[in-house]
Amino acid sequence: MQQQSAIKGRGHLLLPASVLILSLLSAQSSTAQDSSIDAMCLLEEHNTLRAAVGTPELHWSDALAGQAAAWAKKLKKTGCVMKHSRTGLGENIYWASAWKSGTKSRGKNTRQWQFSPQPITEKNVVASWAVEQPWYSQAGNTCDAPPGKSCGHYTQMVWRTTREVGCSKAICDDSSQVWVCNYAPAGNIIGQRPY
């Protein structure tokens, strides 16, 4: 009988430990969701654009990615308001609204939308900045973007003296998301051509 009690007692000790481990793993995975990106995909997408204009390949920087993560986290705390960090680095920011994933009835006539993060990929983010490419004229070093648009995201990605990139993202409380890429050395120097 004593042996049976001892085994039973050990089982009770393991249960709280397993619950603690599962709780820690759950917390880790929700944190990872905020910043989980495919760095190599982002790097390849940037380097494909750079190869098209003959600028050297970028290298991934964990330090720049860390700074991007810190800024994305700060933006998350402010409701994901689009604002540059003003660190002296080159910086591109991308924002995506939440995905409306259905409805849930509340009461007789009231509905509440259910939101979740959109399935945005690294390719989507880089492509959103690359759409500016046709507006940039290398011949005149000018940007003929529509009102409210610019060429600066594209030119930063292909800037000839930029050598490193690091990116991160955060999922905001409203399920929108913000992506930040930092570049060093910074590009978009007035009067200079990107390539």
Which amino acid, 115?
F
Is residue 14, in this structure, part of any structural domain at all? no
Alpha-carbon span 141 to 19, nearest angstrom? 60
Give the count of domains, the chain: 1
Is residue 167, in this structure, part of any structural domain at all? yes
Which amino acid, 88?
G
* pLDDT of res. 118: 78
Is residue 193, in this structure, part of any structural domain at all? no
Is residue 70, in this structure, part of any structural domain at all? yes
Is residue 21, in this structure, part of any structural domain at all? no
Walk along the chain (195 residues) and give the pLDDT tens digit of each residue: 444 433 333 333 333 333 333 333 333 333 334 458 999 999 999 999 999 999 999 999 999 999 999 999 999 998 878 889 989 999 999 998 876 655 555 556 555 656 667 788 999 999 999 999 999 999 999 999 999 999 999 999 999 999 999 999 999 888 889 999 999 999 999 999 999
Percent composition of the chain: helix, strand, coil (DSSP 3-state, to 5): 45, 25, 35
- What's the chain's Rg over C-alpha atoms? 23
* pLDDT of res. 133: 98
Is residue 10, in this structure, part of any structural domain at all? no
Domain, as residue range, for 87: 39-103+113-184
Residues in Cβ contact with 6 at an 8 Å cutoff, skipping those fewer than 6 apart:
none
Alpha-carbon span 148 to 87, nearest angstrom? 24
Report the DSSP pairing between strands 177-184 and 164-171.
Answer: antiparallel
Helix (H, G, I), strand (E, B) or coil at 11: helix
Is residue 4, in this structure, part of any structural domain at all? no
* pLDDT of res. 23: 31
Instruction: Report H helices in the chain.
Output: 2-35, 39-53, 62-77, 122-130, 152-158
CATH number at residue 96: 3.40.33.10
Is residue 75, in this structure, part of any structural domain at all? yes
Alpha-carbon span 180 to 67, nearest angstrom? 9
